[in-house]
Copies of this chain bind each other. A is one copy, B any other.
């Protein structure tokens, strides 16, 4: 994906000897010096422990990025924690808020389909998962009555405390409207739920009628009493136009957390000393990219635009193709990096799956893999309404490869259907 500029910046950070090289533009050197010179970036090196919550100058840059993103709404860098990918921060915040009451587990409202980190973490910490279904026929919209149903049904078994929202959606590819976000916030407020806003795909919006609204911005603009709600928002360098997932950069912004609770989180994090300082440096490149006039700006903006416009093209292509295939229904990929099509499976295929000891969608995915080499993730890994079958596939392969993949899938599907009809 787009990466030349921040690979340069982080290479300079890793090996400052390169500052002498004429091959690195001056702004990348200046950027590396800013990171290395930052308070808590000990000894001007990524090799020293940073403060446990992250290098201060990078946290300040994150805060500035959030302010710019949200039209100037204030962000205090003291509310920002840098983490090894968003996953680490998500797990830490869930662990922090996992305080059962009178033996009743803490309830976490999780969308279905969901990103499996949530179900895994709920299980790991002995929390209770409250499933709410996204509305597939309405482009995976998040319905408030469905939230209410799920919440009410859970009350006897848990203490509902967290509401996870993934926007743009993984695996659904949906992007919430502003109105929908407002309604979710009101619901969370009325039911005293803390919103965990997984916003790692905030740069990945493709649909013409959608844009990204951060929960922070909407909560702030709704004013009293909503702007006093506790909320946590998560971001990563693994998605967007960056896709630098192996480097484990991420951040979390905590809104309106009691200082004592925040102090507990910071203490908890400090046991592991700090997240990768290299990942922190990458995060700095994400939130503080070259500006117009900088020597690297042209290269950066070209790469970014090329990646995002290609993803947009592929997002349209994949949904169109699935919808042209018999037995498939696929919502528009409004954002993120995935399609989550629904497929019809013949009764005999379902029986064959049962005989093989597999869920029908798992059976399908294995058959697909074995016959074509294409790997998709069965819908049951994310959750789906009983009796429906899906899989998740990504829009990450370049267009020609994606076309080839879809053609092979189509061919496989026809053979599969014929076999089990």
Q: How far is the CB of A38 from chain B (nearest CB, A)?
A: 12
Q: Is A124 an interface residue (CB 8 A)?
A: yes
Q: Is A199 an interface residue (CB 8 A)?
A: no
A369 to B87, CA, bound (A): 37
* A84: B residues at CB distance < 8 A: 84, 248, 272, 275-276
Interface residues in A35-87 by Cβ distance below 8 A to B read 42, 45-50, 84-85, 87
Q: How far is the CB of A337 from chain B (nearest CB, A)?
A: 13
* A275: B residues at CB distance < 8 A: 84, 248
| A14 interface neighbour in B7, B88, B95, Cβ under 8 Å | B7
User: Which stretch of A115-123, A356-364, A410-418 is in the interface?
Assistant: A115-123
Q: Is A278 an interface residue (CB 8 A)?
A: yes
Contact A277 to B10, CB < 8 A, known contacts A21-B21, A271-B116, A271-B121? no
Q: How far is the CB of A378 from chain B (nearest CB, A)?
A: 16
Q: How far is the CB of A200 from chain B (nearest CB, A)?
A: 12
Contact A247 to B7, CB < 8 A, known contacts A84-B84, A116-B271? no
A248 to B246, CA, bound (A): 13
Contact: B279 with A243, CB < 8 Å?
no
Q: Is A3 an interface residue (CB 8 A)?
A: yes
Q: Count of chain A residues with Cβ under 8 Å from any Cβ of B? A: 47
Q: Is A141 an interface residue (CB 8 A)?
A: no
| A45 interface neighbour in B124, B238, B246, B277, Cβ under 8 Å | B246
* A403: B residues at CB distance < 8 A: none
Contact: A246 with B47, CB < 8 Å?
yes
Contact: A87 with B273, CB < 8 Å?
yes
Contact: A247 with B276, CB < 8 Å?
yes
Contact: B47 with A243, CB < 8 Å?
yes
Q: Is A11 an interface residue (CB 8 A)?
A: yes
Q: Is A18 an interface residue (CB 8 A)?
A: yes
Interface residues in A10-38 by Cβ distance below 8 A to B read 10-11, 14-15, 17-18, 21, 23
* A301: B residues at CB distance < 8 A: none
Contact: A278 with B247, CB < 8 Å?
yes
Contact: B45 with A87, CB < 8 Å?
no
* A120: B residues at CB distance < 8 A: 268, 271
* A238: B residues at CB distance < 8 A: 49
Q: Is A8 an interface residue (CB 8 A)?
A: yes
Q: Is A245 an interface residue (CB 8 A)?
A: yes
A243 to B49, CA, bound (A): 10
Beyond contacts A46-B247, A87-B271, A276-B278: 5 other A-B pairs, Cβ-Cβ < 8 A, are: A7-B17, A10-B14, A21-B23, A45-B246, A47-B247
* Sample of 7 A–B contacts (CB below 8 Å): A42-B246, A46-B246, A47-B244, A84-B276, A88-B272, A245-B273, A247-B277
